[in-house]
């Protein structure tokens, strides 16, 4: 059976999601790229956050706030999502979208390079229960190291686009981005600080837990 058909079937089970549809419309309206997290992984992030009763969540790469909304849905009552975004325009669109949704006040978007902001968060000794990596691919290995520095035993670290549209298995592809994703996958799946797997649906998704 075509994977496209399976995807449509799964989507039909999810039903209408007004908040996510609105966020997607705003992304389109503002001519931003259509690269938000796939709904099946968005839902997985909500579930992960709920399963660990997450209070502090960090997202790398906000775009229009779709991932932030999925993450915030899983927060414990007094929890908060911090989403890091390099582009001022993307952050503005995300903030406007979030302002109108039920999770207003639970998501803070910080503009700047994620690695720099993560170092600042580390200096402030802030520890996260869940970290979602979804910014520029060439920094994925560095993001993982920084994420570990902002973690505790039990922290969930997730990362999107870890198959890079199949480029990871194309031996002729020696681009910086693809090499970085290969390095990231090797690190995540073999580092004994983590228990991890790589889910192959959509564009690939690494799900890891920081070991005790």
Ligand X SMILES: C[S@@+](CC[C@H](N)C(=O)[O-])C[C@H]1O[C@@H](n2cnc3c(N)ncnc32)[C@H](O)[C@@H]1O
**Positions that interact with ligand X (CB under 6 A):** 35-37, 59, 61-63, 66-67, 84-87, 90, 113-114, 134-136, 139
164 DSSP assignment: G
Is residue 160 part of the contact set for Mg ion (CB under 5 A)?
yes
Residues numbered 120 to 149 that lie near Mg ion (CB under 5 A) are: 134
Question: What is the distance, to the nearest Å, from the Cα of residue 197 to the centroid of all Cα atoms in its chain?
Answer: 15
Residue 61 interacting entry, from Mg ion, ligand X, none, C-beta within 5 to 8 Å by type? ligand X
CA distance 157 to 22: 27
162 binds Mg ion (CB under 5 A): no
Instruction: Compute the least distance from the CB of residue 187 to Mg ion, in Å.
Output: 18
Looking at the DSSP bridge assignments, the partners of residue 198 are 206
Q: Which residue is nearest to Mg ion (CB)?
A: 160
Q: Show the tokens assigned to 104.
A: 């207003």
Q: Which is nearer to Mg ion, 127 or 177 (CB)?
A: 177
Taking the CA atoms of residue 38, residue 41, residue 47 and residue 52 in that order, the dihedral angle to the nearest 10 degrees is: -130
Considering the complex, what minimum distance in angstroms separates the CB of residue 72 from ligand X? 12
3-class SS of residue 195: strand
State in angstroms the smallest separation of the CB of 194 from ligand X: 21
The pairing of beta strand 56-60 with beta strand 80-85: parallel
Is the distance from CB of 164 to CB of 137 less than 8 angstroms? yes
CB-wise, 33 or 100, nearer to Mg ion? Answer: 33
**Of 97, 151, 161, 164, the one binding Mg ion by CB under 5 A:** 161
Kind of pairing, strands 156-160 and 194-199?
unpaired
Q: Return residues touching Mg ion (CB under 5 A).
A: 134, 160-161
């Amino acid at each position: 059976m075509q994977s496209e058909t399976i995807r449509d079937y799964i989507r039909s089970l999810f039903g209408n999601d007004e908040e996510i549809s609105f966020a997607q419309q705003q992304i389109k309206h503002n001519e931003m790229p259509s690269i938000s997290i796939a709904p099946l992984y968005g839902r997985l992030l909500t579930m992960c956050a709920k399963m660990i009763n997450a209070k502090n969540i960090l997202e790398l790469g906000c775009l229009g706030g779709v991932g932030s909304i999925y993450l915030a849905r899983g927060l414990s009552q007094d929890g908060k999502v911090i989403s890091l975004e390099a582009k001022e325009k993307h952050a503005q669109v995300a903030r406007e979208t979030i302002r109108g949704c039920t999770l207003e006040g639970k998501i803070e978007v910080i503009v700047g390079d994620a690695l720099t902001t993560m170092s600042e968060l580390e200096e402030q000794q802030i520890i996260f229960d869940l970290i979602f990596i979804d910014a520029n691919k060439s920094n994925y290995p560095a993001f993982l190291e920084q994420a570990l520095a902002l973690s505790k035993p039990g922290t969930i670290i997730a990362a999107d686009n870890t198959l890079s549209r199949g480029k990871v298995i194309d031996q002729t592809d020696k681009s910086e981005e693809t090499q970085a994703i290969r390095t990231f996958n090797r690190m995540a799946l073999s580092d004994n600080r983590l228990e991890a797997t790589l889910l192959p649906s959509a564009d690939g998704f690494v799900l890891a837990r920081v070991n005790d």
